[in-house]
């Protein structure tokens, strides 16, 4: 999977839509001042790719911007196996999941709701959580490649590459 872009809206400190990308095909580093939303973007990426749009509970409720009645949304564009995709998810009120594929220059809807979540899991080969939000153990190889601030848990370093 090659991440192309990420758009987040109504997610913690990001009230209006914020788009990051297009990303390079190599390693990308998000660098910005403290409290500017880097961890929020990362969280939205993980929740969008790996969690069901129907997830409920305090943890997902906590991503709603404080003092606002907004439904968190995330859109992720990515390439996989020669195809370009766009995932659009909305959590909480009117929760939805839509997966699009680029066909003849336009993104065309491929699946929606639970079928979109299932199709995405098949693309990512991820191990979905039984209930609730995903944890790093559900991320597959992403737990090595995606390192959120303060969460790179290595019991010890051997010095080997």
Rounded mean pLDDT of 80-87? Answer: 96
pLDDT at 107: 98
pLDDT at 85: 98
* Share of residues in the chain with pLDDT > 90 (%): 56
Helix-strand-coil split of the chain, %, nearest 5 = 20, 25, 50
Rounded mean pLDDT of 58-64? Answer: 92
What is d(CA 27, CA 44) in angstroms, rounded to the nearest whole number?
19
DSSP character at residue 136: G
The most distant pair of C-alpha atoms in the chain lies apart, rounded to whole Å, by 50
| Average pLDDT for the chain | 85
pLDDT at 161: 47
CA-based nearest residue to 87, from 115, 56, 128? 115
Distances (CA, A) of 154 to 28, 31, 118, 137: 22, 23, 31, 14
DSSP character at residue 10: S
Model confidence at 122, in pLDDT bands (50, 70, 90)? confident
Residue 54, number of CB atoms within 10 A of its CB: 14
CA-based nearest residue to 7, from 16, 18, 22? 18
Which two structure tokens, joined as six digits, stand for 84?
């370009």
| Cα angle value 145/147/153 (rounded, 5°) | 105
Q: Which CATH superfamily is domain 2-145 in?
A: P-loop containing nucleotide triphosphate hydrolases (3.40.50.300)
pLDDT at 3: 93
Q: Please check the confidence at residue 26 and state whether its pLDDT lies above 50.
A: yes
Model confidence at 36, in pLDDT bands (50, 70, 90)? confident
pLDDT at 69: 92
Sketch the domain layout of the chain as residue ranges. Answer: 2-145
């Amino acid at each position: 999977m090659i991440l192309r872009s990420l758009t987040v809206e109504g997610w913690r400190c990001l009230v209006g839509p914020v788009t990051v990308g297009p990303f390079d095909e190599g390693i990308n580093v998000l660098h910005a001042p403290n409290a500017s939303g880097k961890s929020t973007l990362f969280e939205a990426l993980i929740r969008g790719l790996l969690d069901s749009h129907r997830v409920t509970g305090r943890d997902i409720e906590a991503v709603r911007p404080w003092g606002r009645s907004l439904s968190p949304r995330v859109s992720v564009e990515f390439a996989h196996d020669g195809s370009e995709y766009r995932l659009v998810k909305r959590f909480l009120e009117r929760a939805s999941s839509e997966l699009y594929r680029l066909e003849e220059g336009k993104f065309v809807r491929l699946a929606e709701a639970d079928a979109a979540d299932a199709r995405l899991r098949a693309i990512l080969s991820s191990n979905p959580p039984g209930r609730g939000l995903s944890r790093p153990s559900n991320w597959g190889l992403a737990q090595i490649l995606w390192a959120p601030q303060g969460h790179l848990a290595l019991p010890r370093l051997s010095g080997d590459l």
